Structure 1
């Protein structure tokens, strides 16, 4: 039986992915800070629920080592994240630390625990939920976007490190997703109209954002397709925006996006 280890599995994309892999006959090690939020996963077949706060280095070691001692993990999905939005000048220092401790350091420390395992078995996949903000800079996203670009940079470097060991390294890239992902700081001060135009851009003509179900299917595909590919936009809307940015390039896009924001 194949096994996936998921961080941040208590809600949103992480929870939906846990459910999807379970339905496909995988063993799912679903980890989360608050185990009560995962109670509805406990009755699913082949589900293992473990505590994990990725901002706690000691718990990272304990939980990852327990999972690796008990199971032959095929796929790691770094999905735990913390998001904030505000102009950089208004971002509290403690929030900056929390974003980087969770999204960057937590992701790196979890991944470190699994690298020897994957190198030894010479197979497997390391997947990480980054963000469209790792590709396209957005106003009020300087902290979150910087953290997600750090994740993206880690993955691109790790791709080369793991290539000789036949281990895939891939970025799962959601855009706007209809989940209960919390943004405890969402400060629009001074950018109210730009924020509205940005929302319009991210919706891409749709009334609401895609749900996490599409992302779960894309993640499953990335875990099993054996393609030599790093970036996977996780829904059709994000794919369209990603393709547009790639085709335009930074200098052309910044003119287009500036006109869209401040029209």
Structure 2
């Protein structure tokens, strides 16, 4: 039987790579995005439907999914829509913070809640939430971004417990840096004079040389495919060499020591 996957944030980067991979593997793909009128690549692929969906709009989201479920059998949902708000907390407006939370966290919660009764009644289904290496480890200038991703991780673990009795799996894929995603068009920044040295130090990790070492979207998409199809009762899939190394380092040396190590990097800068 040909299965169907529903993906949010499929207009570029990881979302688009995931849509293309599942399509190539013989799946039906429902690729959603805010501006489908601008999409040309996915619309030309067989068994791919491109639909308009803004995860920050509760009404649009519920109406779109309700319509889909009257026409299509969904097996896997990937909550991928999101972006990075990066900078010192003092630099952000309240509107910027709210927008980040609405997109990265509330979008995931709303999509999950809307699909939950469908999967519960079917007693099967896989919900995959895309977090980040910074949803497992905090980092300067990522306070609000990390807040949303840590929250999605905890939300996913809790929902996994709730839905296990119904045979529904909830999984997390936590990528490290992605060449065309976090360091590219999905990044929004803000500056503050008091944090210039810290920001400069952090930005070293986003240099062209460092970005070249990040994972390709296709590599992370392969991990999503694994999570969707391996049948394992596994919660977290840490994806990308940088994220795997950071996660291993944190729990090998202990969380508190790892925190102190990171803190020391950003307290010994030249002022």
TM-score (norm 2): 0.91
* Mapping of residues 6-17 of structure 1, within 5 Å: 6-17=7-18
Paired position in structure 1 for 2:145: 144
* Aligned-partner SS, 1:9: coil
* Mapping of residues 79-228 of structure 1, within 5 Å: 79-179=80-180, 180-187=184-191, 189-198=193-202, 207-228=212-233
Q: CA deviation at 1:140?
A: 1.1
Q: Distance between the aligned counterparts of 1:199 and 1:232, measured in 2?
A: 26
Q: Distance between the aligned counterparts of 1:211 and 1:120, measured in 2?
A: 37
Structure 1 residues 159, 170: closer, same or farther in 2, change over 3 A?
same
Q: CA deviation at 1:218?
A: 0.3
Q: CA deviation at 1:207?
A: 4.4
**Unmatched segments (≥5 aa) in structure 2:** none
Runs (4+) of structure 1 exceeding 6 A deviation are 201-206
Contact kept, 8 Å, 2:82 with 2:186, in 1: the verdict is no
Q: Distance between the aligned counterparts of 1:67 and 1:10, measured in 2?
A: 19
Q: CA deviation at 1:189?
A: 4.1
Paired residue total: 263
* Aligned-partner SS, 2:260: helix
Q: Distance between the aligned counterparts of 2:227 and 2:204, measured in 1?
A: 29
Paired position in structure 1 for 2:49: 48
* Aligned-partner SS, 2:86: coil
TM-score (norm 1): 0.93
Question: Could you say what the CA RMSD is over the residues aligned between the two structures, in angstroms?
Answer: 2.0
Q: Distance between the aligned counterparts of 2:115 and 2:10, measured in 1?
A: 18
Which of 232, 246, 249 aligns to 1:244? It is 249
Deviation digits for residues 32-74 of structure 1 (CA, Å, limit 9, x no counterpart)? 0011342210111210111000011110001111121111100
Q: Distance between the aligned counterparts of 1:200 and 1:170, measured in 2?
A: 32
Contact kept, 8 Å, 1:168 with 1:228, in 2: the verdict is yes
Q: Distance between the aligned counterparts of 1:35 and 1:104, measured in 2?
A: 22
Q: Distance between the aligned counterparts of 2:20 and 2:132, measured in 1?
A: 21
Structure 1 residues 76, 100: closer, same or farther in 2, change over 3 A?
same
Q: CA deviation at 1:148?
A: 1.1
**Unmatched segments (≥5 aa) in structure 1:** none
Deviation digits for residues 72-94 of structure 1 (CA, Å, limit 9, x no counterpart)? 10000000013211111221110
Structure 1 residues 200, 143: closer, same or farther in 2, change over 3 A?
same
